[in-house]
């Protein structure tokens, strides 16, 4: 059986992208925080800072990408939805699993046109673009017409929107659908209401994974 994720081409591109992210992100994120503190009362997501966020990768770490690959290989989903494509690092892991399953699709939402172009180019360079549809714009708009059922929802956009987006997409989730929320240890306060919701056993059975910056994997009851 093929293992696209371990193939030399995919490994080499992921290694280059992770290195670039490690080199660039700390300075970019620091300048975002400085600008936010100086001019926007600490509000990092002010529209005037978009040009800086466009440069930040903020990728899943390798082990979270590997978790996505493992879950998708074993679950064999028909439809995966991702919020937050960025430069396509998580999408490469997901598309590698879909390629090895030889079925399924990823619909991924990203605000930044620059990131969408870069992610598309990265996927194309690996021949993985046929598994992925990237929708540019605000996920609240671009994903509202997604036809279900959604087998896996991967939330990796701005943290305040996890719960509102989950509620919008929830009618498309069936029993057994997985919802994966990234960065739970990094933003415990901003994700508190989301975590309370998915940890309510009437809604989901959920597990808190201590990998990367924290990942919550929840299965719809
Ligand atoms: C943490 S990064 C995603 C990293 C990506 N999953 C990866 O592993 O490479 C978050 C991304 O979400 C995007 N984003 C935030 N809110 C969004 C929204 N409402 N709709 C679409 N994209 C959004 C940001 O532009 C940013 O690129």
Of 19, 44, 45, 85, the one to substitute when testing ligand 1's pocket (max ligand atoms within 8 A of C-beta) is 85
Gap between the Cα atoms of 105 and 99, Å rounded: 9
Residue 199, both tokens:
């940890």
CA distances, 59 to each of 64, 124, 139, 148 (Å): 10, 19, 18, 26
> If DSSP codes are grouped into helix, strand and coil, which group holds residue 11?
helix
Answer whether 188's CB lies under 8 Å from 160's CB: no
The residues facing 181 across adjacent strands are: 155, 216
Burial 156-169 (b: 16+ CB within 10 A, else e): bbbbebbbebbeeb
Gap between the Cα atoms of 65 and 71, Å rounded: 10
> Rounded to the nearest whole angstrom, what is the distance from the C-alpha of residue 37 to the centroid of ligand 1?
22
Gap between the Cα atoms of 157 and 116, Å rounded: 14
> Rounded to the nearest whole angstrom, what is the distance from the C-alpha of residue 106 to the centroid of ligand 1?
15
> Rounded to the nearest whole angstrom, what is the distance from the C-alpha of residue 3 to the centroid of ligand 1?
27
pLDDT band at 100 (very low <50, low <70, confident <90, very high): very high
Residue 45: its pLDDT value, please? 86
Residue 165: its pLDDT value, please? 98
> Rounded to the nearest whole angstrom, what is the distance from the C-alpha of residue 1 to the centroid of ligand 1?
32
- Looking at ligand 1, which atom is closest to the CA of residue 157? 12
Q: Which residues does ligand 1 sit against, CB inside 6 Å?
A: 53, 58-60, 83-84, 86-87, 89-90, 109-112, 115, 138-140, 156-158, 161
Q: Where are the domains positioned within the chain?
A: 10-53, 57-220
- Looking at ligand 1, which atom is closest to the CA of residue 82? 6
Gap between the Cα atoms of 82 and 86, Å rounded: 11
Residue 47: its pLDDT value, please? 84
Yes or no: domain 57-220 corresponds to CATH 3.40.50.150: yes
Nearest CA to ligand 1 atom 21: 110
Radius of gyration of the chain (CA): 17
* pLDDT, tens digit (0-9, with 9 covering 90-100), for 5-23: 999 999 999 999 999 999 9
Sheet-wide strand order for 105-110: 132-136, 105-110, 79-83, 150-155, 173-182, 215-220, 204-209
* pLDDT, tens digit (0-9, with 9 covering 90-100), for 159-196: 999 999 999 999 999 999 999 999 999 999 999 999 99
Answer whether 209's CB lies under 8 Å from 184's CB: no
């Amino acid at each position: 059986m093929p293992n696209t994720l371990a193939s030399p081409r995919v490994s080499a591109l992921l290694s280059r992208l992770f290195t670039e992210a490690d080199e660039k992100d700390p300075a970019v994120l620091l300048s975002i925080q400085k600008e936010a503190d100086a001019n926007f009362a600490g509000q990092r997501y002010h529209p005037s800072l978009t040009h800086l966020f466009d440069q930040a990768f903020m990728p899943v770490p390798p082990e979270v990408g590997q978790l996505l690959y493992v879950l998708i290989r074993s679950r064999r989903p028909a439809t995966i939805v991702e919020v937050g494509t960025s430069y396509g690092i998580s999408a490469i892991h997901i598309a590698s699993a879909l390629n090895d399953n030889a079925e399924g699709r990823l619909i991924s939402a990203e605000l930044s046109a620059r990131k969408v172009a870069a992610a598309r180019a990265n996927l194309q360079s690996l021949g993985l673009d046929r598994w992925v549809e990237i929708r540019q714009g605000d996920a609240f708009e671009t994903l509202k017409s997604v036809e279900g059922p959604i087998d896996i929802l991967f939330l990796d956009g701005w943290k305040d929107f996890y719960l509102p987006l989950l509620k919008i997409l929830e009618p498309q989730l069936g029993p057994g659908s997985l919802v994966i929320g990234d960065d739970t240890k990094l933003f415990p306060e901003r994700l508190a209401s989301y975590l309370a919701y998915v940890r309510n056993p009437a809604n989901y059975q959920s597990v808190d994974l201590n990998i990367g910056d924290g990942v919550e994997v929840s299965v719809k009851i």
